[in-house]
């Protein structure tokens, strides 16, 4: 039996290069090896978009298109919609008894996101509890391998605490502990250099961006603000162009030389940005082309079929969860 790989994205916008390096690429390369479950997390997207359900609904198709366009194969991976698996919601409720409020408030990812979203005054309970929901997302499919960005590490720890508690309290070995599989480049910054690239911050290069958008975003990319003349010595650290070249430029020896040249002066931002633009256009153009071939009807079929397969698996786990908790009154 293959181990279960599980991961997902909030349909709060189209997917971007941060998703690509953080998690999408590993999903594609690992999909043969594992039983892959890939979730469009619409319930989670609603935790901070509850007043805008249309946005979430529309982006379910965008995110699914991005999955297929980067090479996730619906014959190998089960792609499904979170809200259509009510077993996840049920397990979330049971898990709520296993976590304290102070533990949730200490979760560093939640803390950072509350600040980022300006929710520090009045925290929606649903938002605060989303790590519990995420634990249920993983546990209900017995997920063990979680390809995700660096920011998700605290979520995995919290999931494992809940899983261990559940198994101990109900004296079973049912739920599995999981481990994060963090993409090679950790956390990709946005073009502003201030935050991580994020759908909600408008600072990302999307996998569906056209050539001109990519060109303009690369042009606007944050470099070294003190590198005014070509002859000036430049700083590589914190320079978004170099961070992106680290992630996307294949010729690593050339990159070492470029960094040395930039540091000692004499290399301007313009040729570096041209190089990066070429790398990104070469990466994104086949994804964009594939995306254009995907019909709404096909995507719907993929989602429907994946959701139905996922539900069967979740129902099986929940039968065992209810039995362990003494909730199988009529069976
Ligand atoms: P939102 O702004 O709505 O939270 P997001 O851009 O942060 O969207 P998510 O759907 O929250 O994207 O994240 C999905 C997955 O992609 C997670 O595993 C996350 O760690 C990873 N990810 C997101 N942004 C980046 C990034 N900039 N670098 C690396 N991984 C990322
Ligand atoms: Mg996020």
Residue 62 belongs to domain with CATH number: 3.40.50.620
pLDDT of residue 151: 86
Which tokens belong to 209? Answer: 């961006």
pLDDT in tens, 137-174: 999 999 999 998 888 999 999 999 999 999 999 999 99
Q: Are residues 150 and 237 in the same domain?
A: no
In a domain, residue 53? The reply is: yes
Same domain, 95 and 238: no
196 three-state secondary structure: strand
- Residues 122-128, mean pLDDT to the nearest whole number: 89
Ligand 1 interacting residues, C-beta cut-off 6 A? 9-10, 12, 18-19, 21-23, 148-149, 151-152, 187-188, 196-200
Same domain, 320 and 284: no
Please report the pLDDT score of residue 153 as a whole number. 92
pLDDT at 314: 98
Query: What's the pLDDT score for residue 78?
Result: 98
Q: pLDDT at residue 20 above 90?
A: yes
Average pLDDT over residues 81-106: 96
Instruction: Judge if 152 and 276 occupy the same domain.
Output: no
Q: What number does the ligand 1 atom closest to the CA of 24 have?
A: 16
| Ligand 1 centroid to residue 169 C-alpha, Å | 33
**Number of domains making up the chain:** 2
Q: Which residue CA neighbors atom 25 of ligand 1 most closely?
A: 18
In a domain, 198, yes or no: no
Ligand positioned closest to the Cα atom of 16 = 1
**Residues 65 and 119 both lie in one domain:** yes
129 has pLDDT over 80: yes
Q: 32 CB contacts (<8 Å, ≥6 apart)?
A: 76
**Does residue 201 fall inside a structural domain?**
no
Which residue puts its alpha carbon closest to atom 14 of ligand 1? 9
CA of 149 to the centre of ligand 1 (A): 7
Beta carbons within 8 Å of 329's beta carbon, 6+ residues apart: none
Which pLDDT score, from 0 to 100, does residue 121 have?
Answer: 84
- Residue 195 clears pLDDT 90, i.e. is over it: no
| Nearest Cα residue to atom 13 of ligand 1 | 9
pLDDT at residue 210 greater than cutoff 90: yes
Is residue 200 situated within a structural domain? no
Give the distance (Å) from ligand 1 centre to CA of residue 265.
Answer: 35
Tokens of 309: 């397969």
- Based on the fold, state whether residues 184 and 101 are members of the same structural domain: yes
Domain assignment present for residue 204? The answer is: no
- Predicted local distance difference test score (pLDDT) of residue 154: 93
Give the model's confidence band at 75: pLDDT under 50 very low, under 70 low, under 90 confident, else very high. Answer: very high
Choose which residue among 110, 151, 246 to substitute to test ligand 1 binding: the one with the highest number of ligand atoms within 8 A of its C-beta. Answer: 151
Q: How far apart are the C-alpha atoms of 255 and 26, rounded to whole Å?
A: 23
Q: How far is the CA of 8 from the centre of ligand 1 (A)?
A: 10
Answer yes or no: do 162 and 38 share one domain.
yes
Q: Where are the beta strands (DSSP E) in the chain?
A: 4-9, 35-40, 77-81, 145-148, 179-182
| Same-domain check for residues 284 and 310 | no
Q: Which domain holds residue 282?
A: 211-290
Assessment of whether the complete model's pTM goes beyond 0.85: yes
Ligand 1, atom 16: nearest CA belongs to which residue? 19
What pLDDT is recorded for position 183? Answer: 82
Are both 169 and 245 inside the same structural domain? Answer: no
Closest residue by Cα to atom 7, ligand 1, is 198
Q: Is the pLDDT of residue 185 over 80?
A: no
Report whether 222 contacts 191 (CB < 8 A).
yes
Same domain, 137 and 244: no
% the chain with pLDDT above 90: 87
Ligand 1: which of 11, 14, 15, 19 to mutate, most ligand atoms within 8 Å of CB? 19
Predicted confidence band of residue 187 (pLDDT cuts 50, 70, 90): confident
- Mean pLDDT of all residues in the chain? 95
Pair 52, 166 in one domain:
yes
**Residue 253 to residue 208: CA distance in whole angstroms:** 30
200 has pLDDT over 90: no
Bridge partner list, 35: 4
Average pLDDT over residues 73-86: 98
Statement: residue 186 has pLDDT above 80: no
- Evaluate whether residue 330 is within a structural domain: no
Domain with residue 270: its CATH number is 1.10.240.10
List the one residue out of 162, 105, 170 whose CA is nearest residue 135: 162
User: Is there a domain that residue 199 lies in?
Assistant: no
- Ligand 1 centroid to Cα of residue 328, in Å, is 38
Residues 34 and 151 in one domain: yes
Q: 254 vs 200, which has greater pLDDT?
A: 254
Q: Among the bound ligands, name the one nearest to the CA of residue 150.
A: 1
Domain membership of residue 233 (yes or no) is yes
What CA–CA distance (Å, rounded) separates 18 from 15?
Answer: 8
In contact, 215 and 277? CB cutoff 8 Å: yes
């Amino acid at each position: 039996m293959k181990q279960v790989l599980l991961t997902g994205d909030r349909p709060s916008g189209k997917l971007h290069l941060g998703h690509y390096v953080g998690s999408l690429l590993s999903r594609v390369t690992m999909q043969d090896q594992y039983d892959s479950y890939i979730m469009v997390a619409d319930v989670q997207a609603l935790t901070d978009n509850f007043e805008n359900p249309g946005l979430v609904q529309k982006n379910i198709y965008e995110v699914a298109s991005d999955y297929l366009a980067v090479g996730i194969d619906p014959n190998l991976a089960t792609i499904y919609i979170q809200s259509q698996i009510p077993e996840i919601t049920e397990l979330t409720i049971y898990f709520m008894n296993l976590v304290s409020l102070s533990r949730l408030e200490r979760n560093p990812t939640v803390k950072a996101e509350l600040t980022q979203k300006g929710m520090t005054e009045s925290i929606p309970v649903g938002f605060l509890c989303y790590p519990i929901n995420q634990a249920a997302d993983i546990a209900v499919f017995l997920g063990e391998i979680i390809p995700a960005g660096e920011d998700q590490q605290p979520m995995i720890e919290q999931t494992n605490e809940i899983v261990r508690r559940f198994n101990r309290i109900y004296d079973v070995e049912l739920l599995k502990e999981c481990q994060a599989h963090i993409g090679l480049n950790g956390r990709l910054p946005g073009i502003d250099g201030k935050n991580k690239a994020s759908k909600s911050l408008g600072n990302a290069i999307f996998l569906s961006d056209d050539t001109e958008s990519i060109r303009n975003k690369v042009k606007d990319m944050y470099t070294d603000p003190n590198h005014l003349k070509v002859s000036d010595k430049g700083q590589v650290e914190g320079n978004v162009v170099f961070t992106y070249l680290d992630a996307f430029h294949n010729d690593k020896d050339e990159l070492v030389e470029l960094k040395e040249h930039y540091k000692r002066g004499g290399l301007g931002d313009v040729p570096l940005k041209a190089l990066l633009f070429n790398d990104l256009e070469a990466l994104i153009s086949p994804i964009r082309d594939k995306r254009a071939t995907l019909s709404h009807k096909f995507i719907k079929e993929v989602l429907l079929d994946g959701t139905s397969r996922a539900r069967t698996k979740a129902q099986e786990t929940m039968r065992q969860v209810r039995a362990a908790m003494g909730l199988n009154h009529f069976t």
